[in-house]
Amino acid sequence: MEITLDNNKKTINADISKSIVSLQEKNKIILNNLINKYSPIIVDNFNDYFIGNNVINEISHYSKYPEYSLIYEIMDLLNMDKSFLERDINSLSRTKKIYLNILRNISKLDEIIIFLNPFLGLDNYNKKKIIKLLNYLKEKYIVIISGDVDDLYRYSDYSIVSNDFELKYDKTDKIYIDVKTLIKYKLEIPTLSYITYKAKEEKNVKLFYSKDTRDIIKDIYKHV
């Protein structure tokens, strides 16, 4: 699917088919333009306003015709038993409410889903479940992630970055290893790419850019 990205100064077209696409949270103009143009589903971990008294009731209220086969698939990915559908919402933990929020949104089957800070408030165990879910959904939906730049660097396929004038869309690796451009336009820089950049520029250490901390450490031992 091709979408139009617009920061009110520049417009570009981007094919985001079968991809996890990242957008830095501070790029509100692009986010608002996407919402206005495409009316996507927005999954916000901290939207915990529920109108139903139990899980299945909440999903039915939120989506007039929920696709239960898809809901069961998502529950399997999240290692959730079907009995979860009968749970009282007041008995749910914060993490389970995040999962409920995902289930009630995804049951709508819209084409574009925007996850706002999808890992916020989750421990590593549950974060891995969400990463698995996002990679599953990109085969069926267009998934756009907004949030922490380190997570965007690690887990997205393509990235959108912008300041007041510039607008760029490319493979995530290409966007975030171009640290000089990110600095020039005062954009956020992932920790790992910045460490590699500083080592190369200031210490003349020939490190390779990587999304894996272990690879960076191995490379440092090899070249230092």
Q: How crowded is the C-beta side of 87, counted as CA atoms within 13 Å?
A: 16
Q: Which helix (H) or strand (E) holds 182?
A: helix 179-184
Which of 95, 105, 164, 81 is CA-nearest to residue 130? Answer: 95
Q: Whole-number mean pLDDT of the chain?
A: 89
Q: Give the pTM.
A: 0.89
Model confidence at 146: pLDDT above 90? no
Model confidence at 2: pLDDT above 80? yes
Residue labelled with tokens 């451009």: 181
**Pairing status of strand 167-171 against strand 158-162:** antiparallel
Which of 189, 199, 118 is CA-nearest to residue 150? Answer: 189
Taking only the tens place, the pLDDT of each residue in 83-124 is 999 999 999 999 999 999 999 998 776 789 999 999 988 999
- Domains belonging to the chain, first-starting first, are 2-172 (3.40.50.300)
Taking only the tens place, the pLDDT of each residue in 55-88 is 999 999 888 778 888 899 999 999 999 999 999 9
CB atoms within 10 A of CB 28: 12
CA–CA gap between residue 18 and residue 16 (Å, rounded) = 6
- What pLDDT does 223 receive? 59
- What pLDDT does 206 receive? 74
